[in-house]
Structure 1
Amino acid sequence: MKSQITKILYIILLLACGYAANAQTLKPAAAINGQLLNEQSKPMDYATVTLLRAKDSSVVKGTLTNDAGKYVFDRISEGKYIVKATNVGYKPAFSPAFDVIGNAINAPVIKMQQVSRDLQGVTITSTKPLIERKMDRTVMNVENSVLAAGNSALEILERAPGVTIDKDDNISLKGKQGVTVMINDKLTYLSSTQLAALLRSTDGSTIQSIEVITNPSAKYDASGNSGIINIKLKKNKQSGTNGSLTTGIAYWKNFRDNTSLTLNHKTGNLNIFGTLTHGDITRQNVLDISRTVVSGPTTRYFTQNTLMKKPVHYNNYRVGADYNTSATNTLGFVVSGDYTNELNNNTSRTNIGSVPMGIDSFQNTPSNIKQTYRNIAINLNDKLVIDTNGQELSIDLDYSKFRNNSFADYATEFYLPNGSVAKPSLFLRNTTPSTISIYTAKADYTYPLSKSLKLESGVKLSSVKTDNDLRAEIQQGGVFVNDVSRTNRFVYDEKVNAAYVNLGKTYKKTSIQAGLRAENTTSTGNLITNNQVVHRSYLDFFPSLFINQTLSAKHELGINYSRRIDRPSYDNLNPFTYYLDQYTYEKGNPFLKPQYTNSFELAYTYNKTLNVTLGYSRTTDASVDVLYTDTVRKATFQTNENLATRNNYNININSPYTITKWWSGNVNVDGFYQQFKSPMLLGQNLNNGQFAFQGRATQTFMIPGYKFEVTANYQSAQSYSIFKIKSQYAIDAGVSHSFYQKRMNLKLAVSDVFDTRKSRVSTNYSVTNLSLVQKNETRIARITFTYNFGNSKIKTRKHQTGAEDEKGRVKSGG
């Protein structure tokens, strides 16, 4: 298998290098020098100039001007030519026809004129809608949203169309878990907990948009059965020295603060940029669990109440630079990281009785968990624009390291109903250092075979190693000693080699794209303490097909298909046991297998506004959360298992609308039916399904100088695996005011205005009978101030790295 994938990668690299070499070596003989100026005779830098044959206007070559407005076409054959110049905000301009004779020719100077932006004294301005539907994705434009101010990336993500986040910070899309989260087109390679911590420490003011891609093409990593969520961070687009400062405070039950500073400096061919964010967040959650445990003739009733308070202190940074080595090539690097400390102060009381609501005994379990996260990611990138026809080659090299240290102390006190001590207290403590190291390299090549036919190909190599070392101790005779029943070390190595090819064809009213991705995976999970090794090696192929048809000026239709994979997250493979108390805990499953999903979608668009999508997906070896009950220990624990199949039927309706010039809105509705099937799960045959829907309506009111937003969310009751989830709803509201020539902005927002958002989950399956209610601190009032400063002239390059998929499978606490 490995030799097959190696051959595929080698062939694609040879093709890419061959095309690039051919494009740069087959050159004729003369050089054309020219310059581009604006109306004030100042240089026009980084404008597009194209060399055309005078006799038929056919394209010969293209390039960009440098910071002096100059350009060069080298190795041009003799003949008569014209130069065409284009730039955003300017009318296209042409040089007079001129002859190329000899070795060096000076083309006539070209002057460009700005496009007029005024109509009879009225200036036209526009902003992007909050929700925007594109051919292959739905985009939530966060940058100018009132509700983004003061919120974290995780809180904003929860408001994206079709997205839900459960009590354990697992992200679902249209009711399906297994979402791949990317940041700037790069996989995060983090587990759900670690990803939640990263997103929670990412300030919303640094986000430009959130893209929801339910059926990605072969160009993307094949992981994620329900699709991809791509979080686009802002990158300053202005020349000179400029930036923005954002600071905010929030309060309801607990105080929060956040500050972010973005700087950008561009001089000549060099652009340097950076962002620094700092924040202090205290979150308070209440968790109530009721359980019934039957063991032979004995029935026990457990009622548990836990108060969790979690102060988090974070500092994030992101710095980088782009350097234009020529008008067609850009080298860049990005270094990012975060430095986060958090403290979990939990207090849990569990009442135990032989009759409902009765108390035969109770126990208190206070715990303190200190966690530190020290993460760093480095990206080196190169983008070569080979010609103006769209031939490009881009290369990314990435290294990431995530370090998490956890120190936990648990004390369990046992009491009789009258408050007297029933038995000596139990003291436990854990130290859990863990590291994740990620190396990736990828190359993407685009080659237009003609004006209507385009070839895309690429390769990617990734290597991930996780090392989790649980050192558990128990107090005996007043001294802590090693707890051999829990101490363990788990090391996981995974390598994925991938190659893809996409071929796209555009007709007058039809566009077709077909793709195929190959991924070869080898993994080894080593439970060192128990000398238990799980090794896997497999080669998979992932086809994709997209067909879009314009039926008329107002009607468009699209059909797409893709096959995808979900490899288990690293923490779900880790067999360690993590306690809330001695009766409630969770552990991983090192024998989890990957799950595979085939997805189909039919999309219809009316008048570029009303969008309707019908979808169906079938997942085999579906991995889901399962609760087991240990009837001997009277304990309930959570783990993951591979079910047989999961079928998902869904419909999405999205429509932006305008009522008046000052009142606009957007409605998004997701309806879905999920069916889970598995033989002999916990001793029974599972066949569970329920129709559910989610709705979100956003209203925006524009009054001179002010912007008001109100968003209402509703999620109906639904089923997931063996669980029943009750409905929830919430309303968010905010207002912003711009002043000082729109350089300053003040925003006030309140999330969950009526404090109604809560999670209510229950199951009564086999011997497991449990219900829980979790109420997080969701009603929060925020005030945020932003100041933009500096120049505002020229856009700089946006770049995304290549290591986002692997990062998305790491858990980040929080």
Structure 2
Amino acid sequence: MYAKLWIFILLLFSLFLAKSQEILNAKVSDSIQQKDSIATISEVIIQSSRRDVKLNEGNIVMNVSGNKDFKTSTNILEVLRKTPGVTVDSEDGIFIGGRMSPAIFINGKPVVMSSQELQSYLRSMSPEMVESIEVNTNPSSKYDAEFKGIIDIRLKKNTNLGWKGSYVGNTSINRFSYRENSLSLSYNTEKIGYNLLLGYNNGISIYRYNALQRLANTNVMRTQAYQKDDAEVYTIQLGVDYKLNDKNRVGVNVRGNFRESDRIRLGSLYTVNKDETQLVFNTESKNPTNYFQDNYGLATDYSFQHKNFKLNFLGNYLSVENKQKDDFTNSDKPTSQLLSYWKSDLLNKIRIYTGQVDISQKIGDATFEAGVKFSDTNTNNMIRYDTLSVNKQFVFDPTRSNQFSYQEKIWAGYWAYSQKFNKLQINAGLRFENTQSVSHAVTIDSVVSRNYLKWLPSFSASYSFNKSNELSFSYSRKITRPVFSQLNPFRFYFSPLNYWIGNPYLQPSFTNQIKATYRYKNWVTAFTIGKETDVMTRYPIYNPETNVLEYLGTNLPYRNFATAEMSFPIKISKWWNINTQIAGYYNHEFRPYLDEVFALKIYNYEMRLNQVFSLPKGYTINIFANYESKTGNSLYIIKPRYTVDISVQKAWFDNKLNTKMSFNNIFDSYDQRLEFRHKQIMDNRLTHWWDTQKLILSLSYNFGSSKYQTKDIQKTEEENRAR
């Protein structure tokens, strides 16, 4: 309670300081000339900090290297947590605009990694390696229509010849520990650049789930689950960048990522009667899992540039293979009697081929761009369940076993135009995407074929009044295709009575969005409004006879949404900086559910306060606080939550060695609590807890004589959905 009050007081204080900036500057203008008048903190002087924020066609661009706000961050994932407009959840998932999952770019090109690989990669990257981060919440038509948002991470430009190496190591300590190690080596000659990246991560992570459910027969059931995941990950990347001449360049990048995980999930269902005086049943379950994932990737690119003409080719191949074996046992806890026992064996294979060509021609102050892209995706999923029969033999279970295949081909193209008229910048574009897909659930003999063509326009305009004032406006139309796991009609179990199933009949959703952004110095305000149709979501179905709770996928007719965001940094003194972020969200979804229609208007907000203290002898201390108000959707209420982090940083040996220590989520207050709104249908309350309260020790060391920049890693829209 006191922590929440302290966060609120700090936020109000920063707002007060912000609103009083001009008044305070006027009052102390005379005292600025006098050294004695600024000797104490009681005479606070609000000074304009360096320009760490700017707009690029309406997108926020944050300087990272040298920015005090990020100096104590152990990696780029933590930098993103403090970046305006970006949210990083408890599982390190990245979102912008409240709920959109963005594509991650490196130096203007999307990266080729699975979600887990991407998180490890961002954690291995120190803030000192990054020049800036651009947050694009309304990408134009020249980007894949799947990209509702883009986070472009620009690395520092290094051009020296010779070799360079760096090591980054992080150790997270909680109830267990997790270690991340990354070694990067590069060698640069006049024409050829070589790079090698090696990574090894291992350790244990913990997850807990608790639920309280009042059943239809008035009994009260409590569900508990404890999951311990012991993982080991190996990564290798090899790249060659060859400059043929001043006009031609070609590059090749190959990679492999190999993950093995041994997971154990322990659960219990404790059920009593209505007044909780009599035990109805008390069962326990065990679900040990052995999981393997092998990823192989190849990216080739070629570029040609002559005067004002540019041509680029990018080709990608991705192979993903997942193997998972599970045991599920359910027993009566008081007597240890075995109630049920089944095994599952999963094999999942994904193959993706993509190729794209982009050209641009500059004529005077105008630039014309065009491009075409083709992608071919094939995925095959096979899962077999065997159940222990009454005669103690495992028997094939056809009701849960299934084989699912999915093929998707996409032809896409775009045309874009941009021109600058003095202080006014205009951009317009039109994209088409033709999708051909076939999903086949072999076991139930269900085939769904689709062939559709969509046109997706975009437009933006920005006006720079002067160096301190910028205004921009943008519009775009986007398509979101369901990811492969959403289409897959298999059961994925959380507990013996709780699982979710994919839906091969899901339709893609479409989003029309308008955004306006205004910057005054380092103050940025943005407003977004839009409508999404055929919204993909999950919904719960409770069976009162079996007490089974399953989550199914469906398309909602539509949702209306709006977002208002504001960020403003304040320099209180030479050693104290404050950066405040405030975001408000509105969501109105039209949700048919069972025999009723729910269309609630949900309002919520989020506030962040980032304080940086620059102390003597090169030490930097950072206190970061984040508060999220009550939110949810038409079916669930999500309770408020907050977190507070504290960290310290120190550089050694001319900044070659950088050490950092952080204590994240110091009050262990960032669990997620949900409650079903409509008690007449189902009374269900649940809590998700992740081990985000942790001590993190980080060390990075740079060596060698070169500063050559490593090759970009490529990614495609389809690879984003292969998860």
What band does the TM-score fall into relative to the shorter chain? Answer: 0.7 to 0.9
Identity fraction in percent: 26
In structure 2, the CA distance between the partners of 1:269 and 1:168, relative to structure 1 (3 Å rule), is closer
Cα distance in 2 between the residues matched to 1:205 and 1:475: 45
Q: Say whether 1:706 aligns with 2:628.
A: no
Query: Which letter does structure 2 place at the counterpart of 1:331?
Result: V
Q: Say whether 1:656 aligns with 2:569.
A: yes
1:318 maps to 237
Look up the SS of the partner of 2:717 in the other structure: helix
2:182 to 232, 238, 260: 260
1:239 maps to 161
1:250 maps to 172
Cα distance in 2 between the residues matched to 1:360 and 1:523: 49
1:530 maps to 444
Cα distance in 1 between the residues matched to 2:349 and 2:107: 23
Tell me by how many angstroms 1:429 deviates: 1.0
Query: Which letter does structure 2 place at the counterpart of 1:707?
Result: T
Higher mean displacement: 431-440 or 543-552: 543-552
Tell me by how many angstroms 1:632 deviates: 2.8
Q: Say whether 1:692 aligns with 2:604.
A: yes
Q: Say whether 1:401 aligns with 2:319.
A: yes
Tell me by how many angstroms 1:332 deviates: 0.5
Tell me by how many angstroms 1:159 deviates: 4.8
Cα distance in 1 between the residues matched to 2:180 and 2:543: 44
1:330 to 229, 249, 263: 249
Equivalent residues in 2 for 1:271-282, closer than 5 Å: 271-282=193-204
Equivalent residues in 2 for 1:580-599, closer than 5 Å: 580-599=494-513
Tell me by how many angstroms 1:369 deviates: 1.1
Q: Spell out, residue by residue over 1:27-67, the C-alpha distance to the aligned partner (whole angstroms, 9 max, x if none).
A: xxxxxxxxxxxxxxxxxxxxxxxxxxxxxxxxxxxxxxxxx
Tell me by how many angstroms 1:361 deviates: 0.6
1:420 maps to 335
Higher mean displacement: 238-247 or 457-466: 238-247
Equivalent residues in 2 for 1:597-636, closer than 5 Å: 597-607=511-521, 609-636=522-549
Q: Say whether 1:755 aligns with 2:674.
A: no
Look up the SS of the partner of 1:373 in the other structure: strand
Q: Spell out, residue by residue over 1:489-534, the C-alpha distance to the aligned partner (whole angstroms, 9 max, x if none).
A: 1101111111011100101111100001110001111001111001
Q: Answer whether contact 1:293 1:631 (CA < 8 A) is retained.
A: yes
Cα distance in 2 between the residues matched to 1:527 and 1:603: 46
2:34 maps to none
Q: Answer whether contact 2:213 2:220 (CA < 8 A) is retained.
A: yes
Aligned residues: 664
Cα distance in 2 between the residues matched to 1:385 and 1:128: 35
Q: Spell out, residue by residue over 1:729-780, the C-alpha distance to the aligned partner (whole angstroms, 9 max, x if none).
A: 1111212211112211111112112221110111133623311111210111
Q: Spell out, residue by residue over 1:657-686, the C-alpha distance to the aligned partner (whole angstroms, 9 max, x if none).
A: 3333333332222111101113x3221111
Equivalent residues in 2 for 1:294-443, closer than 5 Å: 294=216, 298-355=217-274, 357=276, 359-387=279-307, 389=308, 391-415=309-333, 419-420=334-335, 424-443=338-357
1:782 to 696, 702, 705: 696
Higher mean displacement: 205-214 or 129-138: 129-138
In structure 2, the CA distance between the partners of 1:527 and 1:234, relative to structure 1 (3 Å rule), is farther
Equivalent residues in 2 for 1:141-160, closer than 5 Å: 145-149=70-74, 153=77, 157-160=80-83
1:502 maps to 416
Cα distance in 2 between the residues matched to 1:664 and 1:378: 44
Q: Spell out, residue by residue over 1:180-207, the C-alpha distance to the aligned partner (whole angstroms, 9 max, x if none).
A: 45566555788xxx62x22343351326
Cα distance in 2 between the residues matched to 1:668 and 1:721: 27
Tell me by how many angstroms 1:313 deviates: 1.1
Q: Answer whether contact 2:58 2:517 (CA < 8 A) is retained.
A: no
1:736 maps to 649
Q: Answer whether contact 2:329 2:338 (CA < 8 A) is retained.
A: no
Cα distance in 1 between the residues matched to 2:572 and 2:254: 45
Tell me by how many angstroms 1:327 deviates: 1.5
2:191 to 269, 274, 295: 269
Look up the SS of the partner of 1:808 in the other structure: helix
Look up the SS of the partner of 2:486 in the other structure: helix
Q: Answer whether contact 2:576 2:612 (CA < 8 A) is retained.
A: yes
Cα distance in 2 between the residues matched to 1:521 and 1:549: 37
In structure 2, the CA distance between the partners of 1:185 and 1:634, relative to structure 1 (3 Å rule), is farther
Cα distance in 2 between the residues matched to 1:327 and 1:288: 62
Tell me by how many angstroms 1:170 deviates: 6.0
Cα distance in 1 between the residues matched to 2:713 and 2:634: 36
Superposition TM-score, scaled by structure 2 size: 0.87
Q: Answer whether contact 2:239 2:711 (CA < 8 A) is retained.
A: no
1:809 maps to 721
Equivalent residues in 2 for 1:80-119, closer than 5 Å: none
In structure 2, the CA distance between the partners of 1:162 and 1:373, relative to structure 1 (3 Å rule), is same
Q: Say whether 1:223 aligns with 2:124.
A: no
Superposition TM-score, scaled by structure 1 size: 0.77
Higher mean displacement: 374-383 or 216-225: 216-225
Q: Answer whether contact 2:125 2:168 (CA < 8 A) is retained.
A: no
Higher mean displacement: 321-330 or 593-602: 321-330
Cα distance in 1 between the residues matched to 2:272 and 2:197: 55
Tell me by how many angstroms 1:148 deviates: 3.9
Q: Answer whether contact 2:668 2:693 (CA < 8 A) is retained.
A: yes
Tell me by how many angstroms 1:395 deviates: 0.6
Q: Spell out, residue by residue over 1:139-168, the C-alpha distance to the aligned partner (whole angstroms, 9 max, x if none).
A: 45566634542x684x66555433445677
Cα distance in 1 between the residues matched to 2:488 and 2:552: 10
Aligned CA-pair RMSD:
2.5
Cα distance in 2 between the residues matched to 1:553 and 1:182: 27
Gaps of 5+ in 2: 1-48
Cα distance in 2 between the residues matched to 1:630 and 1:167: 30
Cα distance in 2 between the residues matched to 1:263 and 1:141: 25
In structure 2, the CA distance between the partners of 1:231 and 1:269, relative to structure 1 (3 Å rule), is same
Q: Answer whether contact 1:152 1:199 (CA < 8 A) is retained.
A: no
Q: Spell out, residue by residue over 1:278-327, the C-alpha distance to the aligned partner (whole angstroms, 9 max, x if none).
A: 11131112110112232xxx333221011111111111222211111001
Q: Answer whether contact 1:667 1:698 (CA < 8 A) is retained.
A: yes
Q: Say whether 1:579 aligns with 2:493.
A: yes
Gaps of 5+ in 1: 1-126
Q: Spell out, residue by residue over 1:663-713, the C-alpha distance to the aligned partner (whole angstroms, 9 max, x if none).
A: 3332222111101113x3221111012211112222223344223222111
Query: Which letter does structure 2 place at the counterpart of 1:806?
Result: E
Cα distance in 2 between the residues matched to 1:132 and 1:147: 22
Q: Answer whether contact 1:736 1:746 (CA < 8 A) is retained.
A: yes
In structure 2, the CA distance between the partners of 1:614 and 1:709, relative to structure 1 (3 Å rule), is same
Q: Answer whether contact 1:595 1:623 (CA < 8 A) is retained.
A: yes
2:27 maps to none
Cα distance in 1 between the residues matched to 2:209 and 2:51: 37
Cα distance in 2 between the residues matched to 1:509 and 1:395: 33
Q: Spell out, residue by residue over 1:595-645, the C-alpha distance to the aligned partner (whole angstroms, 9 max, x if none).
A: 0000001111112x1111111010011111211112232111112211111
Q: Answer whether contact 1:605 1:612 (CA < 8 A) is retained.
A: yes
2:96 maps to 173
